[in-house]
Amino acid sequence: MKQTFCELFAGVGGFRLGLEESGWDCAFSNQYEPATKVQHASDIYMTHFGEANHANCDIAKLSVNDIPDHTLLVGGFPCQDYSVAKPLLYSEGIEGKKGVLWWEIVKIIENKRPPFILLENVNRLLVSPVNARGRDFAVILSCLEWFGYIVEWRVINAADYGFPQRRKRVFIMAYQPFRDGLVANLNTITDGILGQAFPCNVVADKHSYYIGTEKIGGEGMEKDFATYIHSVSEAWDKMAHRVSPFKDAGAFYSGVMYTATTEPVYDNRKLKQTLGDVLANEQDVPEEFFINNLDKWEYLKGAKKEPRISRYNGYEYVYQEGAVAFPDALDRPSRTIITGEGGMSPSRNKHVVQTPSGRYRRLMPIELERLNGFPDNWTQLNEVSDTKRAFIMGNALVVGLVEQIGYVLSKVIGERSNVNKLTTTSV
């Protein structure tokens, strides 16, 4: 099987960097930011990878006929409202709320049926929305299951596997059963593709859970995709879960979800990177990154218990929050990079480090790139400001995680005869 991938919501190419490093070839990519006229991320992407087979356009306006067949579909799609207001029976599937980009992914899956799918999102996807915990993820799982995929998911903290940033994201790995009898159950959590890429132990909360309704064949069963997905969404809204049934890892197939809480298994003899490992020499840091108004930073990062007045109703209340490490520790992985990391204004969430000379400073874009595993100055273009570069890194993923998954996928494809490690007896 040829190892090609299609990269959606490509950003500046994090998936592509990781997959090409592990032996994959890019067949197509798409990146478009609707909220801005200047397409900085796409410009950076094309600077490094060229314009061939890249589309800088709204994915909703992209024809599936323009996308070549591929082995693996990847994307870090936005976390939005996945509720299905009503079934719309039309040739390309269903439509949820306007602008929800998940349905564009579904449209491509429906038409291209790639053997493998790898998606990345913030881990709150497993618990949203507030009034029906887990519904959004149940809709996503049901969509993938409808098209015949076994699905694994896992919340992975990059720092647990030696990377220099504490960044938790949920990875969703879906694949067509590539031999008779391939099933999913609790053992898939440790023995499946994600379990091979990032070893773990199941430690608590083991259970199975039935999602949705029967779908094809038989009296009273759902007969089309739109009606089925609508029924899942509607049923979840009625159940109104206060706690999501989805734990940090799981597997799903044929309507049954297996899930559990896990702990990472990492060989301590391997390299464990820290924030200090990515820092530039002090003499190479421009003066604008050093902090002068230290008192404002100390206040924002310090513990607070103070009376405040609500701007909504005028009532007085006590605002309380704990302290944030200040400066950030250099001997451990960094906190999660956020989109507001750039800019000179004081902030509770931005990283601040202390230099060997005792001065305090913010992180430079090149250091944020290193925390995500990108090559130095990957986002550096004349028209891209340092603040925008930081924003882009706040939206990016950790490249090394994708690289590791790419290696495991290559092994699975190349050793089909030995893929029985993905199949275990039911529990």
Domain total for the chain? Answer: 2
Range 226-247 average pLDDT: 85
Report the CATH number that the domain containing residue 406 is assigned in CATH. 3.40.50.150
d(Cα 164, Cα 328) in Å, to the nearest integer? 13
d(Cα 110, Cα 229) in Å, to the nearest integer? 14
- Of 26, 79, 143, 200, which residue is the catalytic one? 79
The model's pTM: 0.90
**pLDDT given for residue 417 in this prediction:** 44
**Do both 250 and 226 map to the same domain?**
yes
- At 85, the pLDDT band (50, 70, 90 cuts) reads very low
**Do both 193 and 250 map to the same domain?**
yes
**Do both 166 and 115 map to the same domain?**
yes
**Do both 416 and 341 map to the same domain?**
no
- At 117, the pLDDT band (50, 70, 90 cuts) reads very high
**Do both 404 and 260 map to the same domain?**
yes
Which residue, 374, 390, 415, sits at the end of a domain?
374
Q: What is the pLDDT of residues 103-113, one digit of tens each?
A: 899 999 999 99
How does strand 116-122 pair with strand 25-30? unpaired
Q: Is residue 416 part of a domain?
A: yes
* Distant-in-sequence, close-in-space partners of 199: CB < 8 Å, separation ≥ 6: 190, 264, 265, 266
How does strand 352-354 pair with strand 360-362? antiparallel
**Do both 165 and 297 map to the same domain?**
no
Q: Is residue 236 part of a domain?
A: yes
C-beta separation of 271 from 163 below 8 A:
no
Burial 104-129 (b: 16+ CB within 10 A, else e): bbbbbbbeeebbbbbbbbebebbbbe
**pLDDT given for residue 86 in this prediction:** 40
Mean pLDDT value across the chain? 88
**Do both 187 and 263 map to the same domain?**
yes
Where in the sequence is the domain holding 291, given as residue range(s)?
A: 273-374
C-beta separation of 135 from 141 below 8 A:
no
C-beta separation of 144 from 174 below 8 A:
yes
DSSP secondary structure, 210-244, as one string: E-S---SSSTTS--SHHHHHHHHHHHHHHH--SS-
d(Cα 27, Cα 14) in Å, to the nearest integer? 15
**Do both 133 and 167 map to the same domain?**
yes
Q: What is the pLDDT of residues 346-359, one digit of tens each?
A: 999 999 999 999 99
d(Cα 389, Cα 43) in Å, to the nearest integer? 12
Contacts of 296-302 with CB under 8 Å at 24 or more apart are 296/346, 297/326, 297/346, 297/352, 297/360, 298/326, 300/346, 300/347, 300/348, 301/325, 301/326, 301/348, 301/352, 302/326
Q: Annotated catalytic, 79?
A: yes
Q: Is residue 380 part of a domain?
A: no
**Do both 145 and 235 map to the same domain?**
yes
Q: Is residue 230 part of a domain?
A: yes
d(Cα 123, Cα 186) in Å, to the nearest integer? 20
Residue 400: C-alpha distances to residues 133, 149, 293, 303 (Å): 31, 25, 36, 35
Q: Is residue 344 part of a domain?
A: yes
**Do both 150 and 282 map to the same domain?**
no
Is the pLDDT score of 203 beyond 90? yes
**Do both 255 and 178 map to the same domain?**
yes
**pLDDT given for residue 228 in this prediction:** 86
More confident residue, 43 or 413: 43
- In degrees rounded to 5, what are phi and psi of residue 404? -65, -40
Q: Is residue 125 part of a domain?
A: yes
Q: Is the peptide bond before 327 cis (omega within 30 degrees of 0)?
A: yes
Q: What is the pLDDT of residues 276-327, one digit of tens each?
A: 999 999 999 999 999 999 999 999 999 999 999 988 888 998 999 999 999 9
d(Cα 92, Cα 160) in Å, to the nearest integer? 40
**Do both 326 and 403 map to the same domain?**
no
Helix (H, G, I), strand (E, B) or coil at 276: helix
Is the pLDDT score of 423 beyond 50? no
The residue to which tokens 């896990």 are assigned: 262
d(Cα 8, Cα 214) in Å, to the nearest integer? 31
Q: Is residue 385 part of a domain?
A: no
Is the pLDDT score of 135 beyond 70? yes
Residue 258: strand pairing partners: 208, 251
Q: Is residue 97 part of a domain?
A: yes
